[in-house]
A and B are shown apart, each in its own frame.
Chain A
Amino acid sequence: MLDLTPAALALAALLPLAPVADDPPPPAEPPQATVWEFLVDKYDANEDGRITKKEYTGISDRWKLLDLDGNGWIDEKEVESRGRVAKPRPDKKKVTAPKVGRRAPTFELEVMTDLAHLPEDAPDEEPEVDPKEGKRSDKDAKMKEPETIALADFRGKKPVALIFGSYT
Protein backbone atom coordinates (compact mmCIF):
# COMPACT_ATOMS: atom_id res chain seq x y z
CA MET A 1 0.00 0.00 0.00
CA LEU A 2 1.33 3.41 -0.85
CA ASP A 3 0.95 5.65 2.17
CA LEU A 4 0.93 9.36 1.56
CA THR A 5 1.08 11.95 4.29
CA PRO A 6 0.13 15.55 3.41
CA ALA A 7 3.79 16.38 2.87
CA ALA A 8 4.21 13.38 0.61
CA LEU A 9 1.25 14.50 -1.48
CA ALA A 10 2.83 17.94 -1.82
CA LEU A 11 6.13 16.36 -2.81
CA ALA A 12 4.32 14.55 -5.60
CA ALA A 13 3.79 17.92 -7.27
CA LEU A 14 7.52 18.11 -7.81
CA LEU A 15 7.76 14.80 -9.60
CA PRO A 16 6.93 13.78 -13.19
CA LEU A 17 3.37 12.59 -13.71
CA ALA A 18 4.42 9.18 -14.99
CA PRO A 19 7.48 7.03 -14.30
CA VAL A 20 10.09 6.57 -16.99
CA ALA A 21 9.02 3.66 -19.20
CA ASP A 22 12.18 1.60 -18.64
CA ASP A 23 12.11 1.91 -14.88
CA PRO A 24 10.82 -1.16 -13.05
CA PRO A 25 7.97 -0.44 -10.65
CA PRO A 26 9.09 -0.09 -7.04
CA PRO A 27 8.51 -3.18 -4.92
CA ALA A 28 5.26 -3.17 -2.99
CA GLU A 29 5.59 -2.67 0.74
CA PRO A 30 4.38 -5.53 2.92
CA PRO A 31 0.83 -5.26 4.26
CA GLN A 32 0.53 -2.46 6.78
CA ALA A 33 0.75 -3.57 10.40
CA THR A 34 -0.61 -1.57 13.28
CA VAL A 35 1.77 0.40 15.47
CA TRP A 36 1.15 -2.09 18.25
CA GLU A 37 1.95 -5.07 16.01
CA PHE A 38 5.16 -3.32 15.03
CA LEU A 39 6.14 -2.63 18.63
CA VAL A 40 5.21 -6.01 20.07
CA ASP A 41 7.13 -7.79 17.33
CA LYS A 42 10.21 -5.76 18.16
CA TYR A 43 10.14 -5.31 21.92
CA ASP A 44 7.87 -7.85 23.64
CA ALA A 45 10.69 -10.18 24.62
CA ASN A 46 8.64 -12.45 26.90
CA GLU A 47 5.63 -12.39 24.53
CA ASP A 48 3.14 -11.61 27.29
CA GLY A 49 1.24 -9.11 25.19
CA ARG A 50 2.62 -6.01 26.82
CA ILE A 51 5.90 -4.13 26.74
CA THR A 52 7.62 -2.97 29.90
CA LYS A 53 10.09 -0.13 30.19
CA LYS A 54 12.78 -2.76 30.74
CA GLU A 55 11.92 -4.53 27.50
CA TYR A 56 11.85 -1.30 25.47
CA THR A 57 15.26 -0.73 23.92
CA GLY A 58 14.37 2.32 21.83
CA ILE A 59 15.36 5.89 22.65
CA SER A 60 15.01 6.09 26.43
CA ASP A 61 13.58 9.59 26.60
CA ARG A 62 10.91 8.59 24.07
CA TRP A 63 9.43 5.97 26.39
CA LYS A 64 7.28 8.62 28.04
CA LEU A 65 5.70 9.32 24.66
CA LEU A 66 4.51 5.72 24.55
CA ASP A 67 3.75 5.12 28.24
CA LEU A 68 1.33 7.98 28.61
CA ASP A 69 -0.07 6.92 31.99
CA GLY A 70 3.43 6.38 33.34
CA ASN A 71 2.70 2.95 34.85
CA GLY A 72 5.86 1.41 33.42
CA TRP A 73 4.28 -0.74 30.72
CA ILE A 74 2.24 -0.33 27.56
CA ASP A 75 -0.33 -2.50 25.86
CA GLU A 76 -2.27 -2.37 22.63
CA LYS A 77 -5.09 -0.28 24.07
CA GLU A 78 -2.74 2.40 25.35
CA VAL A 79 -0.70 2.61 22.16
CA GLU A 80 -3.54 2.55 19.67
CA SER A 81 -5.59 5.14 21.56
CA ARG A 82 -2.81 7.72 21.76
CA GLY A 83 -3.74 10.02 18.90
CA ARG A 84 -1.33 12.88 18.48
CA VAL A 85 0.46 13.56 21.72
CA ALA A 86 1.66 17.02 20.68
CA LYS A 87 4.12 17.49 23.48
CA PRO A 88 7.07 19.86 23.09
CA ARG A 89 10.00 18.56 21.11
CA PRO A 90 12.45 16.67 23.33
CA ASP A 91 15.21 18.91 22.05
CA LYS A 92 14.28 22.57 22.26
CA LYS A 93 16.98 23.70 19.90
CA LYS A 94 16.19 27.05 18.32
CA VAL A 95 16.64 27.12 14.58
CA THR A 96 16.25 30.01 12.17
CA ALA A 97 15.46 29.78 8.48
CA PRO A 98 17.93 31.56 6.19
CA LYS A 99 16.30 34.57 4.58
CA VAL A 100 16.05 35.46 0.91
CA GLY A 101 19.19 37.24 -0.27
CA ARG A 102 21.42 35.65 2.38
CA ARG A 103 24.04 33.08 1.55
CA ALA A 104 22.58 29.59 1.70
CA PRO A 105 24.15 27.40 4.40
CA THR A 106 26.73 25.13 2.82
CA PHE A 107 26.57 21.37 3.12
CA GLU A 108 27.92 18.17 1.67
CA LEU A 109 25.69 15.12 2.09
CA GLU A 110 25.64 11.49 1.01
CA VAL A 111 23.56 10.61 -2.02
CA MET A 112 20.99 7.87 -1.43
CA THR A 113 21.07 5.06 -3.96
CA ASP A 114 17.67 3.69 -4.85
CA LEU A 115 18.28 -0.05 -4.42
CA ALA A 116 15.00 -0.80 -6.21
CA HIS A 117 16.41 0.65 -9.41
CA LEU A 118 19.73 -1.19 -9.38
CA PRO A 119 20.21 -3.95 -11.97
CA GLU A 120 18.71 -7.21 -10.72
CA ASP A 121 22.03 -9.03 -10.69
CA ALA A 122 23.88 -6.25 -8.86
CA PRO A 123 23.38 -7.52 -5.29
CA ASP A 124 24.68 -10.98 -6.17
CA GLU A 125 27.79 -9.82 -7.98
CA GLU A 126 31.07 -10.89 -6.45
CA PRO A 127 33.49 -8.00 -5.89
CA GLU A 128 35.85 -7.72 -8.82
CA VAL A 129 39.40 -8.42 -7.71
CA ASP A 130 42.41 -7.28 -9.65
CA PRO A 131 44.45 -10.51 -10.10
CA LYS A 132 47.76 -8.61 -9.92
CA GLU A 133 47.00 -6.35 -7.02
CA GLY A 134 44.58 -8.59 -5.19
CA LYS A 135 42.45 -5.56 -4.46
CA ARG A 136 38.99 -4.51 -5.43
CA SER A 137 38.77 -2.91 -8.85
CA ASP A 138 38.06 0.77 -9.35
CA LYS A 139 34.55 -0.14 -10.48
CA ASP A 140 33.83 -1.94 -7.24
CA ALA A 141 35.42 0.81 -5.19
CA LYS A 142 33.09 3.31 -6.83
CA MET A 143 30.09 1.16 -5.94
CA LYS A 144 31.11 0.96 -2.29
CA GLU A 145 32.31 4.55 -1.81
CA PRO A 146 29.38 6.73 -0.73
CA GLU A 147 28.82 9.46 -3.27
CA THR A 148 28.35 12.93 -1.86
CA ILE A 149 27.01 16.16 -3.27
CA ALA A 150 27.87 19.61 -1.99
CA LEU A 151 25.68 22.64 -2.50
CA ALA A 152 28.79 24.48 -3.67
CA ASP A 153 29.07 22.04 -6.60
CA PHE A 154 26.36 24.02 -8.37
CA ARG A 155 27.61 27.53 -7.67
CA GLY A 156 28.05 29.40 -10.94
CA LYS A 157 26.38 26.54 -12.83
CA LYS A 158 22.67 26.28 -12.04
CA PRO A 159 20.13 27.14 -9.35
CA VAL A 160 19.23 24.44 -6.83
CA ALA A 161 15.77 23.62 -5.51
CA LEU A 162 16.00 22.10 -2.04
CA ILE A 163 13.11 19.92 -0.93
CA PHE A 164 13.39 18.98 2.72
CA GLY A 165 11.18 16.23 4.07
CA SER A 166 10.89 12.78 5.60
CA TYR A 167 8.90 9.57 5.09
CA THR A 168 6.19 10.46 7.56
Chain B
Amino acid sequence: MHATYGDEIEFLMVYIREAHALDSPWPMGGKDGAPIVEDPVTYGERKDVAQRCMQALDMSPMTMLIDGIDNEVGDAYAAWPDRLYLVNEKGKVAYAGGPGPFAFEPDELEDAIRAELDLEPIKRKPKKKGK
Protein backbone atom coordinates (compact mmCIF):
# COMPACT_ATOMS: atom_id res chain seq x y z
CA MET B 1 0.00 0.00 0.00
CA HIS B 2 2.88 2.32 0.83
CA ALA B 3 4.45 1.54 -2.56
CA THR B 4 1.19 2.38 -4.35
CA TYR B 5 0.08 5.50 -2.51
CA GLY B 6 3.25 6.67 -0.73
CA ASP B 7 3.71 9.69 -3.00
CA GLU B 8 0.27 11.08 -2.27
CA ILE B 9 -0.34 9.81 1.25
CA GLU B 10 1.96 10.20 4.23
CA PHE B 11 2.14 6.89 6.07
CA LEU B 12 3.00 7.31 9.73
CA MET B 13 3.47 4.23 11.89
CA VAL B 14 2.91 5.20 15.51
CA TYR B 15 4.50 2.84 18.00
CA ILE B 16 2.26 2.65 21.07
CA ARG B 17 1.91 0.59 24.26
CA GLU B 18 2.70 -3.09 23.86
CA ALA B 19 -0.26 -5.36 23.27
CA HIS B 20 1.15 -8.63 24.63
CA ALA B 21 4.06 -7.82 26.93
CA LEU B 22 4.98 -10.77 29.15
CA ASP B 23 3.92 -8.76 32.22
CA SER B 24 0.63 -7.65 30.71
CA PRO B 25 -2.88 -9.06 31.16
CA TRP B 26 -2.57 -10.76 27.77
CA PRO B 27 0.97 -12.14 27.70
CA MET B 28 2.55 -13.64 24.62
CA GLY B 29 6.08 -14.51 23.63
CA GLY B 30 8.54 -17.37 23.79
CA LYS B 31 7.00 -20.74 23.07
CA ASP B 32 4.28 -19.27 20.86
CA GLY B 33 6.94 -17.74 18.61
CA ALA B 34 6.03 -14.15 19.42
CA PRO B 35 8.78 -11.80 20.62
CA ILE B 36 9.45 -11.57 24.35
CA VAL B 37 8.86 -8.04 25.53
CA GLU B 38 8.38 -6.52 28.96
CA ASP B 39 6.08 -3.54 29.14
CA PRO B 40 8.41 -0.53 28.95
CA VAL B 41 8.46 1.61 32.09
CA THR B 42 10.48 4.53 30.74
CA TYR B 43 10.54 6.35 27.44
CA GLY B 44 14.06 5.00 26.86
CA GLU B 45 12.86 1.42 27.28
CA ARG B 46 9.98 2.11 24.91
CA LYS B 47 12.42 3.41 22.32
CA ASP B 48 14.52 0.25 22.68
CA VAL B 49 11.52 -1.98 22.02
CA ALA B 50 10.41 0.25 19.14
CA GLN B 51 13.86 -0.14 17.64
CA ARG B 52 13.60 -3.94 17.87
CA CYS B 53 10.16 -3.74 16.27
CA MET B 54 11.42 -1.50 13.48
CA GLN B 55 14.27 -3.83 12.62
CA ALA B 56 12.40 -7.12 12.97
CA LEU B 57 9.47 -5.99 10.84
CA ASP B 58 11.61 -3.86 8.50
CA MET B 59 9.43 -0.77 8.80
CA SER B 60 12.01 1.32 6.93
CA PRO B 61 9.77 2.48 4.05
CA MET B 62 7.44 4.15 6.53
CA THR B 63 8.18 6.85 9.05
CA MET B 64 7.89 5.48 12.53
CA LEU B 65 6.93 7.72 15.43
CA ILE B 66 6.97 6.80 19.09
CA ASP B 67 4.25 7.65 21.57
CA GLY B 68 5.25 9.01 24.96
CA ILE B 69 5.31 6.71 27.96
CA ASP B 70 2.11 8.45 29.14
CA ASN B 71 0.37 6.99 26.05
CA GLU B 72 -1.17 10.38 25.32
CA VAL B 73 -1.51 9.97 21.56
CA GLY B 74 -2.50 6.31 21.72
CA ASP B 75 -5.26 7.21 24.17
CA ALA B 76 -6.40 10.21 22.11
CA TYR B 77 -7.02 7.83 19.21
CA ALA B 78 -8.16 4.87 21.33
CA ALA B 79 -5.47 3.11 19.37
CA TRP B 80 -4.46 0.24 21.66
CA PRO B 81 -3.72 -2.51 20.71
CA ASP B 82 -3.67 -1.45 17.06
CA ARG B 83 -5.81 0.71 14.83
CA LEU B 84 -5.85 2.50 11.47
CA TYR B 85 -6.89 6.05 10.60
CA LEU B 86 -6.85 8.33 7.61
CA VAL B 87 -6.66 12.07 8.24
CA ASN B 88 -7.49 14.30 5.29
CA GLU B 89 -5.69 17.44 4.19
CA LYS B 90 -8.01 19.53 6.36
CA GLY B 91 -6.88 17.65 9.43
CA LYS B 92 -10.16 15.82 9.86
CA VAL B 93 -10.70 12.10 10.31
CA ALA B 94 -11.60 10.59 6.94
CA TYR B 95 -11.45 7.00 8.11
CA ALA B 96 -11.47 5.51 11.60
CA GLY B 97 -10.79 1.79 11.68
CA GLY B 98 -12.05 -0.49 14.40
CA PRO B 99 -9.93 -1.72 17.29
CA GLY B 100 -7.43 -4.42 16.39
CA PRO B 101 -6.73 -7.16 15.96
CA PHE B 102 -10.20 -8.27 14.86
CA ALA B 103 -11.26 -4.97 13.30
CA PHE B 104 -7.81 -4.09 11.93
CA GLU B 105 -8.69 -3.91 8.24
CA PRO B 106 -6.03 -2.59 5.83
CA ASP B 107 -8.49 -3.06 2.94
CA GLU B 108 -10.81 -0.51 4.53
CA LEU B 109 -7.94 1.93 4.86
CA GLU B 110 -7.07 1.44 1.20
CA ASP B 111 -10.68 2.03 0.20
CA ALA B 112 -10.67 5.27 2.19
CA ILE B 113 -7.38 6.32 0.61
CA ARG B 114 -8.76 5.73 -2.88
CA ALA B 115 -11.88 7.70 -2.05
CA GLU B 116 -9.75 10.54 -0.70
CA LEU B 117 -7.69 10.55 -3.90
CA ASP B 118 -10.77 10.31 -6.13
CA LEU B 119 -9.65 6.95 -7.50
CA GLU B 120 -11.97 4.19 -8.65
CA PRO B 121 -12.95 1.91 -5.77
CA ILE B 122 -11.53 -1.62 -5.74
CA LYS B 123 -14.11 -4.34 -6.25
CA ARG B 124 -13.72 -6.69 -3.34
CA LYS B 125 -15.33 -10.00 -2.61
CA PRO B 126 -17.97 -9.71 0.09
CA LYS B 127 -16.67 -10.79 3.47
CA LYS B 128 -17.86 -14.06 4.89
CA LYS B 129 -20.22 -13.84 7.80
CA GLY B 130 -18.57 -14.05 11.15
CA LYS B 131 -15.31 -12.46 10.00
Q: Is the CB of B14 within 8 A of A164?
A: yes
Q: Is the CB of B85 within 8 A of A11?
A: no
**Chain A contact patch, size range:** 35 or more
Q: Is A155 an interface residue (CB 8 A)?
A: yes
Q: Is the CB of B59 within 8 A of A159?
A: no
Q: Is the CB of A161 within 8 A of B22?
A: no
Interface string of A135-168 (1 = CB under 8 A from B): 0000000000000010110111111111111111
Q: Which positions in A face B, CB cutoff 8 Å?
A: 1-8, 10-17, 19-20, 23, 26-27, 29, 32-39, 58-59, 62, 65-66, 80, 82, 84-90, 93, 95-107, 109-112, 114-117, 149, 151-152, 154-168
The CA of A12 and the CA of B13, in the complex, are separated in Å by: 12
The CA of A156 and the CA of B91, in the complex, are separated in Å by: 8
Residues of B within 8 A of A39 (CB): 22
Which residue of A has the minimal Cβ distance to B33? A3
**Chain B contact patch, size range:** 35 or more
| 5 additional contacts (CB under 8 A) given A98-B96, A102-B92, A111-B65 | A4-B57, A99-B93, A104-B91, A165-B15, A167-B52
CB distance from A117 to the nearest CB of B (A): 6
CB distance from A41 to the nearest CB of B (A): 11
CB distance from B18 to the nearest CB of A (A): 5
Question: Which of B1, B22, B25, B77 makes the CB contact (< 8 A) with A162?
Answer: B77
Residues of B within 8 A of A109 (CB): 14, 65-68, 73
The CA of A163 and the CA of B106, in the complex, are separated in Å by: 10
Question: Which of B82, B91, B94, B113 makes the CB contact (< 8 A) with A166?
Answer: B82
Q: Which of B1-60 contact A (CB under 8 A)?
A: 1-3, 5, 8-31, 33-39, 41, 47, 49-60
The residue in B51, B62, B82 that gathers the most chain A C-beta atoms within 10 A of its C-beta is B82
Q: Which of B72-100 contact A (CB under 8 A)?
A: 72-96, 99-100
CB distance from B14 to the nearest CB of A (A): 5
